[in-house]
Structure 1
Amino acid sequence: MLFNSLDFCLFLPLVFVLYWYGTRHSLRAQNALIVLASYVFYGWWDWRFLLLILGSTAVDFWVGRRIAASSGGRRRAYLGVSIAVNLGVLIYFKYADFFLASFAEAFTFFGHPFSRQALGVVLPVGISFYTFQTLSYSIDVYRGKLPASNDPLAFAAFVSFFPQLVAGPIERATRLLPQFGRRREFDYDQAVYGGKQILWGLFKKMVVADNCAVVVNEVFADPGAYAGSTLLLGAALFAFQIYGDFSGYSDIAIGTARLFGIRLTRNFAYPYFSRNIGEFWRRWHISLSTWFRDYLYIPLGGSRGTQVRVIRNTFVIFLVSGLWHGANWTFVIWGGLHALYFLPLLLTGRNRKYTGIVAADRKLPSGREALGMLGTFTLVTIGWVFFRADSLGEAWLYLERIASASLFAEPIFPGRRDALVTVGFVLLLLGIEWWGRRRDVPLLQVEGILPRRLWIMFYYAFAVCTLLAAGRSQAFIYFQF
């Protein structure tokens, strides 16, 4: 079920009414409704994939209890069960065909043609997200950061909570699970706040991302047919497509969770206002970046030890992050490229240079900040070419065309007028985010400068404009991960 679909427009109000009018006096009833609604939401695509969620839930609930009741080597063994099951399921469904293809290509490269037949495994929606979420629970119980859950219903709600089930944020059990252990009371202000965040997320997805997708899909389908200038703008529009698409999903998820009295982790913090790559990764897909930091990078030794070890750890975390996004060498290269971007900052101790809001006490950035943001966006956009391309060959062709003399030709887009309107939507997005960059939801900035009646009218007008300007409906990009 898509957030931007008619099905969800009917599903959400129904669940909301049942939740607050039918279950508000009982914690178990609240959690039971959340689990039921989440299974309906996920099973809308294919009910058979519910078996994976049920299996993951059962295994990690059992593992958590066994870890809590054991000691020494037995605890490590039970943790190993959770890691093996979760990663085993993820590797099979997401990477089996990729590894088979790479194996066959390696044999062919060395002069031994190897015929193979693809398994044709269908990738379950959101499997990368909920497997990481349940895996973090087992690890945190093992580390003693939280007690093992004794309530299977609350645990099932934690694993399957529908707003963030298929594309995050990837929640930690230490933050989300306790919220299902206490009855929620309706908070009008939080519900209204959530509605405003949903509105902002729908704008980013339906107006910005979906309109960018029309141009991006045309350009990336045949990069050899376009001038370098057109390809450059196409790459920039993909940067805003994936940002509007993914951060829009996160905003809708976080806002929807607020409607049910649940707080989720902020997942994006205006990443395109970053002044270097280190700041970008503190602002982009925050829940995944911190997951890899806490469960992979730090256990490997982090930034402690020799430079060789630091370089190794940095490449490991970025390459694994790339592979997490998809079973294609383009994602591995994308991850490796960001490791190369990040290493100079890490080795010189400048990776934590920018931790505050850009131009926090000014209306405009300084010249140095503006150059830093432009340079960071350029590096990130080069990486997005590999992320979006279907193959390494296509990515190299795309970049070669950008680097050619045709970069200085007039950019000609398919549907030129629509492309210009899309650029206008992108500029509007940037303007609103810059204006409200001190808030989690930039639209809220209007409440600080207008009387109540006027800002209420503003929200209604913005909602109407969002619906009128909505582009062609597109599936969320991160559903494939």
Structure 2
Amino acid sequence: MLFNSFNFALFLPVVFILYWFVTNKNLKIQNALLLISSYFFYSCWDWRFVFLLIFSTLLDYFSGIQIEKSNNPNERKFWFWLSITINLGFLGVFKYFNFFADSLKDLISVFGFQVNMWSLKVILPIGISFYTFHGLSYVIDIYKKRINAEKNFIDYAVFVSYFPLLVAGPIERATHLLPQIKKKRIFNYDQAADGLRQILWGLFKKIVIADNCAVYANMIFNDSAHYSGSTLVMGAVFFAFQIYGDFSGYSDIALGTSRLFGIELLQNFSFPYFSRDIAEFWRRWHISLTTWFKDYLYIPLGGSRGGKWVQIRNTFIVFLVSGFWHGANWTFIIWGLLNAIYFLPLLIFNKNRDHLEIIAYKSNWPSFREIFLVLITFGLTVFAWIFFRANNIHHAFQYISGIFSKSLFSIPDLRPRDVISLIIIFMIMEWLGRRNKYALEKMGFQYHRIFRWTLYSVLLIVIFLFGTQEQEFIYFQF
């Protein structure tokens, strides 16, 4: 069930009405409704994988309890590693088995041997990377004695499978989400209205920006050998806005939907294309994953302790693992490596914490230096996105070689003025709302209500006018 589908437009009001008007007097029944709704939501893709989700939930639930109640260090380690191994094992089998099998086959063929490697004929369970990381962080936090194990299975199961975030995040923490699940919730009109605004903005990002950019990005990437260098640059830029509109649009809809139920989720995007260096970009892009890797990989590896070489090593490990998390393809690993290389000068010269506030936070206009830094950072990011989007390494290098050809300074073969105009309008709105959690959060609140409702109406009309057929979200494949 897609957020941008007619089915979800029916599903959400039904759950909302049952939640606030039928089960609102009993927190246990209310949470049970959220759990049933979440399993139904997930089963709409493939009901068989609901059993995998339930098994993963049961594993971490019982492992957490056993870890907490045991005073024997060896027994604690047993339950800890049992949970970690099985969770990563499922992720490895479904997501990476065929990748390693094909890579081994290619390596053997280099030495002149031909082998037939066995591969799995299975589809990737949707959202497995996200709900696996929910469970991993929960078990790790219990093992490190940061939190207590949750004894109520329904409450814990809602934490893992809460439908707004189930298939593409944000990646929540038990310390943030579980207390909200366990606490009595009272309907808050302002919170719900804010949720609807964020849903509207997320739908605009997805349907108007991402899906329309996708038409041209796919056209150019799928036939890149026949386009000029300038057109290939345009294709890479279109993909940059496609993936941003797609993924941050999903996150906005997820956060907005959750606000309708009185639950606040972690912010996942904070205007990343206004970043002045790559470190700032990664503080603003997929924030929940970045902080997850910082807390559960970078810091355990030694973090910033132990000197500059340790920091460099740990940074490269995090970026490479992040690339591999995104997909079983060498293109994602190269994408992660590129971002690590971009990050390296900032780390060496201690410049990685220079830009903590959003650009031009206290003024309306950026300086020429800030504009230059934003353009450089955006250019580096777009270049890395080529590897993210390419079918394989050969395709990526073919695409890049096509860019750096004599036709780079020619007039592009395609000139979709409508999509370019939409991107410009979108970025203006993002700029005006950059100090807030999302662009529409406080836009126009100083004006009369008529202005705000006119803006909402225009966005709805544009969504219907420029909406293409239902398109899956990119991050569903991860």
For Structure 1 versus Structure 2, the TM-score category normalised by the shorter chain is: over 0.9
**Aligned length, in residue pairs:** 477
Q: CA deviation at 1:87?
A: 0.5
Secondary structure of residue in 1 paired with 2:299 = helix
**Which residue of 2 is the match for residue 59 of structure 1?**
59
Please state how far the C-alpha of 1:462 moved relative to its aligned partner.
Answer: 2.0
- Whether the aligned pair in 1 keeps the contact of 2:230 and 2:411 (CA below 8 Å) is yes
Long gaps (5+) in structure 2: none
- Of stretches 378-387 and 359-368 in structure 1, the one that deviates more from structure 2 is 359-368
- Partner residue, 2:392: 391
1:463 aligns with 2:460: yes
Does the CA contact (< 8 Å) of 1:211 and 1:472 recur in 2?
A: no
CA distance in 1 between counterparts of 2:256 and 2:290 reads 21
Deviations, residues 143-199 of structure 1 (Å, cap 9, x unaligned):
122110010010111111000000000000110011111121111110000000000
The partner residue of 1:444 within 430, 433, 441 is: 441
Confirm or deny: 8 A CA contact 1:97 1:121 kept in the other structure. no
Q: Tell me, what secondary structure is at the counterpart of 1:24?
A: coil
Residue 308 of structure 1 pairs with residue 309 of structure 2: yes
* Cα deviation 1:365-387 (Å, max 9, x = unaligned): 10110010000000000000000
- What does residue range 299-338 of structure 1 map to in structure 2 within 5 Å? 299-338=300-339
CA distance, structure 2, for counterparts of residue 386 and residue 28 of structure 1: 47
The within-5 A match list for 1:352-431 is: 352-413=353-414, 416=415, 419-431=416-428
1:212-232 deviations in Å (ceiling 9; x for gaps): 000011101011100000000
- For 1:12 and 1:5, how far apart are their aligned partners in 2? 11
> Residue 117 in 1 paired to residue 118 in 2?
yes
Q: Is the 8 A contact 1:60 1:134 kept in 2?
A: yes
Distance 1:465 1:348 in 2: 46
Post-superposition CA distance 1:442-463 (Å, at most 9, x none): 1234333311232123222322
- The equivalent of 1:341 in structure 2 is 342
Matches of 2:439 and 2:120, distance apart in 1: 46
CA distance in 2, matches of 1:22, 1:285: 35
Q: How far apart in 1 are the matches of 2:394 and 2:323?
A: 18
Structure 1 counterpart SS, 2:164: helix
Moved more, 271-280 or 74-83: 74-83
Q: Structure 1 residue 19 and structure 2 residue 23: aligned?
A: no
RMSD of aligned alpha carbons: 1.0
Alpha-carbon distance between aligned partners in 1 of 2:426 and 2:458, rounded to the nearest angstrom: 16
CA distance in 2, matches of 1:454, 1:231: 40
Q: TM-score, normalised by structure 2?
A: 0.98
Residue in 2 that maps onto 1:261? 262
Larger mean CA deviation between 437-446 and 203-212 belongs to: 437-446
Contact 2:63 2:83 in 1 (8 A): yes
- Structure 1 residue runs of 5 or longer lacking an equivalent are none
- 8 Å Cα contact 2:320/2:333 also seen in 1: yes
User: Conserved in 2, the CA contact under 8 Å of 1:231 and 1:401?
Assistant: yes
What is the rounded CA distance, in whole Å, between the counterparts of 1:457 and 1:408 in structure 2?
41
Which residue type is aligned with residue 16 of structure 2? Answer: F
Q: Is the CA contact 2:270–2:438 (under 8 Å) kept in the aligned structure 1?
A: no
Distance in 1 (CA, whole Å) between partners of 2:440 and 2:200 is 9
Q: Aligned partners of 1:117, 1:147: CA distance in 2, in Å?
A: 43
Q: What is the rounded CA distance, in whole Å, between the counterparts of 1:66 and 1:444 in structure 2?
A: 43
Name which of structure 1's ranges 70-79 and 186-195 shifts more when overlaid on structure 2: 70-79
Aligned mates of 1:218, 1:315 — CA distance in 2: 33
Instruction: Supply the distance in 1 between the matched residues of 2:13 and 2:418 (Cα, whole angstroms).
Output: 33
Counterpart of 1:102 in 2: which secondary structure?
Answer: helix
1:285-334 deviations in whole A, cap 9, x for unaligned? 00000000000011001122133322221111000000000000000000
* Cα displacement (A) at 1:8: 0.4
Deviations 1:349-405 (A, max 9, x none): 100010001011111110110010000000000000000000101000111111111
Superposed displacement of residue 130, structure 1: 0.3
Question: Residue type matched to 1:473 in 2?
Answer: E
Residue of structure 1 in register with 2:34 after alignment = 34
Q: 2: CA distance between counterparts of 1:42 and 1:202?
A: 20
Tell me the amino acid that sits aligned with residue 251 of structure 1: D
In terms of mean alpha carbon deviation, does 69-78 or 401-410 score higher? 69-78
Residue 420 of structure 1: CA displacement?
A: 1.6
Residue of structure 2 in register with 1:480 after alignment:
477
Secondary structure class of the residue paired with 1:18? helix
